[in-house]
Amino acid sequence: MSSALFQPLTLRGLTLPNRIVVSPMCQYSAVDGSATDWHILHLGQYVVSGAGLVMIEATGVEPAGRITAECLGLWSDENEAALARVIRTIRPYASMPIGIQLSHAGRKASVRRPGQGRGPLPREEGGWQTYGPTAQPFDKGWEAPLALDREGMDRVVCAFAQAAQRADRAGLDLLEIHAAHGYLLSAFLSPLGNVRTDEYGGSQCNRMRFPLEVFDAVRAVWPSQKPLGMRFNGTDWLPEGLQGDDAVAFARELKARGCDYMDLSSGGSAPAEIPLAPGYQVPYAAQVRREVDVPTMCVGLIRDPLHAQAIVADGEADLVALGRGMLNDPRWAWHAAEALGAKTQVPHQYMRGETRAGLPSQDTIVRGT
């Protein structure tokens, strides 16, 4: 019996060889937004991992949109050239498409990178002015953001569209817009972050308006044959925040505008107790897939290949993305193929490391070298 996890999936003009996705993982290794040799090292191991898609980390569309000062950006010619260099270096060895996630961290920007402590980065240490739907800070001890006016919103829309054009020129195959985790677009979507009283706040329809304007602007400039997806929250984990029905309503609007897949995550709009467990966010991907009839991606502490296989086989999601699991084991896709009796692409340089049913794949009887 063939493995559902290792079946190809076509999105627009792009076919992924299997359903395993290397999640976008912040690396905190950019210089003024520009990728460095670390990104070649980091992404290089994953383009030969046997996964179906590799996603580049959340990438700021303007300097103020970075999470940390060391986060990747795509707002300048220098950023574009640095990213293109990374893609040119790793592309010849890739067995799968390469995508990127565009982001604006909003009122949760300007924080310390891991290893430097937690929380906001003070101005005297290099922090910067943040932006949000209103001047409401994310939490106690956080600087109040500047509320985006129409001019500021237009600037952000333009920044997303220009970053998408840069991503296309750099050679990326797929693009995802980040509207989860309490970042700027997520803050507009959630009543926890959006208390505006104009046409961009209040009702569910109004709160969706600005994220949809960003999506429309990106879809207009992103090549028609290339897939465009969006990550957003299935829940804020608080009763007054977003719930599953809100995610379904947003997904319906996105589908009508040409969104090719939905990446369901959760939390981050306000401090909340989250019941972490393997697959804890899968139900939100399943709900959107079932009620909107659109391909979905699920994330969230998924490490067991049998679990990932069941998610796809049972129709809960079309793609399974791993972050921490891939950091721990860049050969996860190999091991999943072995466990499921499937086959994934392995570079000829590494074939002697591949195993099947617990045995070496070649040179088991006669060793010529």
**pLDDT of 365:** 43
Q: What is the tens place of the pLDDT at every residue in 121-144?
A: 999 999 999 999 999 999 999 999
* Domains, the chain: 4-360 (3.20.20.70)
CA distance 297 to 284: 10
Split at pLDDT 50, 70, 90, the class of 218 is very high
CB-based contacts of 189: which residues, under 8 Å, 6+ apart? 179, 207, 208, 211, 232, 233, 242, 246, 250
State the average pLDDT over residues 68-78.
98
Phi-psi group of 110: left, alpha or beta (phi > 0 → left; psi -120 to 50 → alpha; rest → beta):
left
pLDDT at 196 over 50: yes
Distances (CA, A) of 258 to 122, 211, 283, 324, 364: 40, 14, 23, 30, 50
pLDDT at 356 over 90: no
* CB crowding 112-142: b at 16 or more within 10 Å, else e: bbeeeeeebbeeeeebeebbbbbebbbeeeb
CB 292 within 8 A of CB 252: yes
pLDDT at 367 over 50: no
Residues with a known catalytic role? 183
State the average pLDDT over residues 288-308.
97
Split at pLDDT 50, 70, 90, the class of 2 is confident
CB 27 within 8 A of CB 72: yes
